[in-house]
Amino acid sequence: MRKVYSKIETIAGNVISVKADGVSYGELAEVSTSFGKSLAEVIKLDHGMVSLQVFAGGRGISTGDEIRFLGHPMKVSFSENLTGRIFNGSGIPRDKGPELTENMISIGGPSFNPAKRVIPRNMIRTGIPMIDLFNTLVESQKLPIFSVSGEPYNELLARIAMQAEVDLIILGGMGLKYDDYLFFKDTLEEGGALSRTIMFVHTASDPTVECLMVPDISLAVAEKFALQGKKVLVLLTDMTNFADAMKEIAITQEQVPSNRGYPGDLYSQLASRYEKAVDIEGSGSITILGVTTMPGDDVTHPVPDNTGYITEGQYYLKNGRIEPFGSLSRLKQQVNDKTREDHRALMDGMIKLYAAYKDSLEKQSMGFQMSAWDDKLLKYGHMFESVMMDLTVNIPLEKALDEGWRILSECFDPSETGMKSSLIEKFWPKKG
Amino acid sequence: MKQGKVVGINGNMVTVALESSVIMNEVGYIITDEGKRLKSEVIRVMGDEAQLQVFEITKGISIGDGCEFSGDLLAVELGPGLLGQVYDGLQNPLPELAEQAGYFLERGIYIDPLNRSRRWEFTPTAHEGDKVEKADVLGTVPEGPFKHAIMVPFNMLDSYTVKSIKPAGSYLITDTIAVVTDARGNEYNLTMSFQWPVKRAITCYEERLKPVEPMLTKTRVIDTFLPVAKGGTYCIPGPFGAGKTVLQQTTSKYADVDVVIVAACGERAGEVVETLKEFPELTDPKTGKSLMERTIIICNTSSMPVASREASVYTAVTLAEYYRQMGLDVLLLADSTSRWAQAMREMSGRLEEIPGEEAFPAYLESSIAGFYERAGIVRLRSGKKGSVTIGGTVSPAGGNFEEPVTQATLKVVGAFHGLSRERSDARKYPAIHPIDSWSKYKGIMDEKKTGEAYSLLKRGYEVEAMMKVVGEEGTSLADYLIYLEGDFLDAVYFQQNSFDAVDAAVAPERQELVFNKIHSLLKSKLKLNDKTEARSWFNSLRQKFLDWNYSEWESDDYVKLEKEIDAQIAGMKA
């Protein structure tokens, strides 16, 4: 029987400390308070003094409350029974289902050996042309959606969750508004995707510490499924809340802040999560799509800035659309030569024309005279925006490519598009 | 064995109560319940307690766990077999680790950096009775394209007499190949390998020379305008997505040096994988062997423990200095030094040191200076020259160069290749900003000519900025021509396609020829009468020039295009 300690020495924020021995770093403890039991994690050991971070927060903890050390670090149950279930950041069910205790696995495990990695080679189809055609998502990629608050990023994630061609979706929600949580739940249920989804959700009203656990739990589970050969897509929303939770806890622990109050290890902390994305030779894979809201639309804010250095590109969500210029999938070159021969050429050609459309639009708004070419571009731009940039569609890549050719043929003569003649011969829609 | 007991743990810093004396920066091993031995380094001593940074995840360490001290500083193993290896920051070979531990980097597993069972063909060059000192050559073994010198260990400070030396034959690196005696008659058995502490520079040379000879990278903008010298230092700061890593990878492939050491420090693992899978397939144009045979990769990616990230750049530079000691030219590419600085910041925070700017420690500048100062071209005692060139990328927060790491780096490097967001957004690669960047080294080109090209480019930018305000209509034809000429120079010379087989690497002869052609065009007066004509003339010339850039040196296409270009220019000269 493990010893029970009942004299809490200090309580500061979410951190309590107690004199105890035989405790190891990262170990879990159970704190019994007047409002129920809460888990706590050992975050510092200093001689006899043990500091613990209480998941439910420090509010209401009495100095006489009992602490029982569990002798193991944070764990989560892993089995097929997880699918279709919803949990909170401590791994406790949020739905009405039973608590799972079988086959407990540790979270925050060691990182993948770089020598064992392979060059990414498979595309993930999402049915969204702005992704599939222009910035292809690749298996094992880590990609954030940079977005201003108020943009429909959760709608986009939910759509990807329903449409993406993967075996399993793990949704990690951090600091979600309760409405957003319900939105995800309802949308996935209605779309019939809940059965292949596992949700770990921390809502804005839950204790901050649980927010920190969400990415680790989600990725630990994802890793096990990937090792079993599953193609897993992990959706994390919103990583800025995760960073803010880290900031809050670092400040209450009196750590020296580095940039706008964020702790100095922000980069390492974010990287250790994003770097879990991997394609395992002869087995499954983990792909991470996260949301990073940019406070004040400022990409140089520490969270999007550090994220940009870690991830393999980014999707910019602006005015309800994936912006074609700022967005970049660094891995798209690995796969878009294997889809259809016209993919790369159409991707480059259409974006070039869209850039020309933007110039014409500027000319128009400044009151300059429009040439015939400008009129063609304006028509093209409108069609491009309404057909290609619509995020509420579900069309396969091939269909999207055909649509691209159709738009070009309705707006331009073949020679005006700058496309290779051999491709035009093959793909240009025949009249009549 | 000196020992201690764990009394405190905070992140990756462990406090140990000492039972005997301890050496600053000594390596210790924390022994966990599961019997795992976790490597760590003493970073502060306070009375009878010492603080150690652990190079592994510290989860599961308990109060009362044991700690063993090794008596040695953090060191690397030097000897034949380093080339072609992929190490982590502490010189653990990653492929071998994968064989033992599988997919994940399990902690507490340390593997010999050099293969203990591989035999090397040793040829002695020293003779019995020879007087030798540290770093003197005893013999050689073939390693990849080189003769790897087997030297007297650098930590043997006296002068010695060779008592016996093994005849030519094949030996393991642990076999004794020579026995030497010092003045008092003590005998020392020497093998082909030895240890050297990473944070101490190897200085077994006669003198350090001034770096004057250019180190060719085959990237036009660098070799022509912003040259780097052998034994020099340069830095590449840039915001994310500006192409730092692609530029480093191109340099690692084509640089005109003998050995390349790539230190992937706190960056994406995926990028290392590209190098790992690609290099064995590529051939080194200099030796005709696989590019991997001249390369060492030190790989401490962003998710690997942060303390070994701090050590990894030192590991890399120590290996570089070792090969310099054989008279070779070594290039060390560190990507990215900001992550290394951040590792120092994290440790400093744990030590509760008083923070400097942006919470970086006060010794940030001296650490950065100390690292870059380990570069240099030297004359060895044998008369041979060897060099270590260091190129480091910097990842400034928000792409703003006014931050401590960039500023501290700029103070100590000899060339600055600043990448700009505007250029990378406009897909102008390499995104080195031609105006903001500088180099203090001498390049291959006539400085008067490059200066003229530079000032034209600058004026072109000025005209472009002016045109944004007054429009094309309000610009005079003379100014407009300057703008077109600057734009032309930028498009066909400053920009280079690193994904094109030919354009990726341009030999110095070709650079010289192309640059002189452009230079003479820029100096001559053209008979262009209006802006539309000028624009279309430059557009067509640019297209021909780009095709010429993509055509193989002295191929039929190349000759044909050069004639066309000459004809077009000749036809327009006034």
Closest CA to B378 of B251, B141, B213, B216: B213
Phi, psi of B190 (to 5 degrees): -105, 135
- pLDDT, residue B227, reads 96
Token readout for A4 is 């029970």
Q: How far is CA B161 from the centre of its chain?
A: 38
Q: Is A255 on the interface with B (CB under 8 A)?
A: yes
pLDDT at A1 over 70: no
Q: Do B33 and A24 touch (CB under 8 A)?
A: yes
- pLDDT, residue B367, reads 96
- pLDDT, residue A333, reads 85
- pLDDT, residue A348, reads 87
Structural domains of chain A sorted by starting position, each given as residue range(s) with its CATH number in brackets: 4-73 (2.40.10.170), 77-335 (3.40.50.12240), 343-427 (no CATH)
**Mutate: best of A268, A286, A292, partner B, most B CBs <10 A:** A268
Q: Chain B partners of A267 at a C-beta cutoff of 8 Å?
A: 266, 302, 339, 342
b/e string for B251-275 if b means 16 or more Cβ within 10 A?
bbbbbbbbbbbbbbbbbbbbbbbbb
Structural domains of chain B sorted by starting position, each given as residue range(s) with its CATH number in brackets: 2-73 (2.40.10.170), 77-103+205-439 (3.40.50.300), 120-192 (2.40.50.100), 447-572 (1.10.1140.10)
Q: Which residues contact B305 (CB under 8 A, 6 or more apart)?
A: B12, B54, B55, B56, B57
User: Quick one: B346 exposed, middle or buried, by C-beta within 10 A (0-12, 13-18, 19+)?
Assistant: buried
Go through chain B and tell me how many residues it has: 574
* Positions in chain B short of pLDDT 50: none
Query: What CA–CA distances, in Å, run from B250 to A4, B218, B396, B500, B503?
Result: 61, 9, 21, 11, 11
Q: Do B101 and A325 touch (CB under 8 A)?
A: no
- pLDDT, residue B439, reads 95
Phi, psi of B445 (to 5 degrees): -100, 160
- pLDDT, residue A65, reads 93
- pLDDT, residue A109, reads 86
The number of beta carbons lying within 10 Å of the beta carbon of residue B400 is: 12
Residue B165's DSSP bridge partners are B178
**Mutate: best of A309, A311, A333, A352, partner B, most B CBs <10 A:** A309
3-state helix, strand, coil in chain A (%, to 5): 40, 25, 35
- pLDDT, residue B495, reads 92
Work out the angle at residue B489's Cα, subtended by the Cα atoms of residues B487 and B494, and round it to the nearest 5 degrees.
Answer: 105
Q: Chain A partners of B397 at a C-beta cutoff of 8 Å?
A: 259, 300, 302, 305-306
Q: Do A109 and B266 touch (CB under 8 A)?
A: no
Nearest chain B CA: its distance from A98 CA (Å): 30
Q: Give the model confidence (pLDDT) of A236-275 as tens digits.
A: 999 999 999 999 988 888 888 888 889 988 999 999 999 9
In sign, the C-alpha dihedral spanning B316, B501, B244, B251 is positive
Residue A38's DSSP bridge partners are A31
Go through chain A and tell me how many residues it has: 432
Closest CA to B427 of A320, A230, A348: A348
pLDDT band at A363 (very low <50, low <70, confident <90, very high): confident
Q: Chain A partners of B15 at a C-beta cutoff of 8 Å?
A: 46
- pLDDT, residue B458, reads 94
Q: Chain B partners of A46 at a C-beta cutoff of 8 Å?
A: 7-8, 10, 15
Q: Is A265 on the interface with B (CB under 8 A)?
A: yes
pLDDT band at A228 (very low <50, low <70, confident <90, very high): very high
- pLDDT, residue A321, reads 92
Closest CA to A70 of A96, A124, A120, A106: A106
pTM: 0.92
Q: Give the model confidence (pLDDT) of A99-150 as tens digits.
A: 998 999 999 889 999 989 999 989 999 999 999 999 999 999 999 999 998 8
* Full DSSP string of B133-201: -TT-EEEEEEETTEEEEEE--TT--S-EEEEEEPPSEEE-TTS--EEEE-TT--EEEE-S-EEEETTS-
**Mutate: best of B103, B106, B309, partner A, most A CBs <10 A:** B103
Q: Give the N- to C-terminal CA distance of chain B in Å, as an integer.
A: 86
Tell me the C-alpha distance between A224 and A8, whole Å: 37
Query: What CA–CA distances, in Å, run from B553 to B221, B513, B515, B542, B567?
Result: 19, 11, 15, 18, 19
- pLDDT, residue B46, reads 92
C-alpha atoms less than 13 angstroms from C-alpha of B69 in its C-beta half-sphere: 24
Given A25, A114, A272, which is nearest B273 (Cβ)?
A114
Instruction: Name the residue with tokens 């006014």.
Output: B402
Q: Do B397 and A328 touch (CB under 8 A)?
A: no
Residue B20 and residue B2 in contact, taking contact as beta carbons nearer than 8 Å: yes
Residue B262's DSSP bridge partners are B297, B333
Closest CA to B151 of B316, B381, B431: B381
pLDDT at A73 over 80: yes
Q: Give the model confidence (pLDDT) of A321-349 as tens digits.
A: 999 888 889 899 889 889 999 998 899 88
- pLDDT, residue A432, reads 52
Tell me the C-alpha distance between A375 and A383, whole Å: 13
Q: Is A325 on the interface with B (CB under 8 A)?
A: yes
Query: What CA–CA distances, in Å, run from B61 to A71, A332, B20?
Result: 12, 43, 22
Q: Give the model confidence (pLDDT) of A196-214 as tens digits.
A: 999 999 999 998 889 999 9
pLDDT at A419 over 70: yes
Phi, psi of B164 (to 5 degrees): -150, 150
Which residue of chain B comes nearest to A27, CA vs CA?
B60
